[in-house]
Amino acid sequence: MTWRILTTEPHITVSYNVVEDVLFADWTGDQARESVMDGCERILHLHYLKQHHCKMVLNDNSHVTSIWDDASEWVAVDWLPRMYKAGCRLFAWVYSPNQYSRLSADKALSYGAEGIMATTFDSKQTALAWLRAME
């Protein structure tokens, strides 16, 4: 599978697979409210969702090493609705091995993601297989 890197920052790398039409967000290291918000805005403003009608996002937290629950509510009530408006319909979220990061993801999803089918996974491979099956 070929991923085209769209942006790289110390806390996130965002890529796009034109063949499978999947936007891939690979989060790295310690995350805090500021880095989560910045990374989320980068994903949203890359315009791949709108311009290419991309509806699938693979959100990989497997390299996240910290809790980020202070951004969980913002992700759920602000960012995910804007992702939906931009065209996102399937959101595969790969857990971090860090228990506190996992709790942050669960907290974000506990608010709901109206219009978006969001599911958590323990591996990138399983998440990608789910996206392929749901397409």
Taking the chain, what is the end-to-end CA distance rounded to the nearest angstrom?
Answer: 17
**Fold annotation for 24-122:** Transcription Regulator spoIIAA (3.30.750)
Q: What is the pTM of this model?
A: 0.94
Q: Residues 46-55: pLDDT tens digits?
A: 767 777 778 9
Can you give the pLDDT at residue 27? 98
Query: Given a cut of 60, is residue 99 above it in pLDDT?
Result: yes
4 by Cβ neighbours in 10 Å (0-12 / 13-18 / 19+) ranks as: exposed
Q: pLDDT band at 24, cuts 50/70/90?
A: very high
Where are the extended beta strands (E) located within the chain? 4-8, 12-17, 22-29, 56-64, 90-94, 117-121
For the chain, give every domain's residue range: 24-122
Residues paired with residue 119 on neighbouring β-strands, in sequence order: 92
Give me the DSSP letters along 58-71: EEEEEEE-S--GGG
Q: pLDDT band at 3, cuts 50/70/90?
A: confident
Q: Residues 109-130: pLDDT tens digits?
A: 999 888 999 999 999 999 999 9
Cα 105 versus chain centre, distance: 10
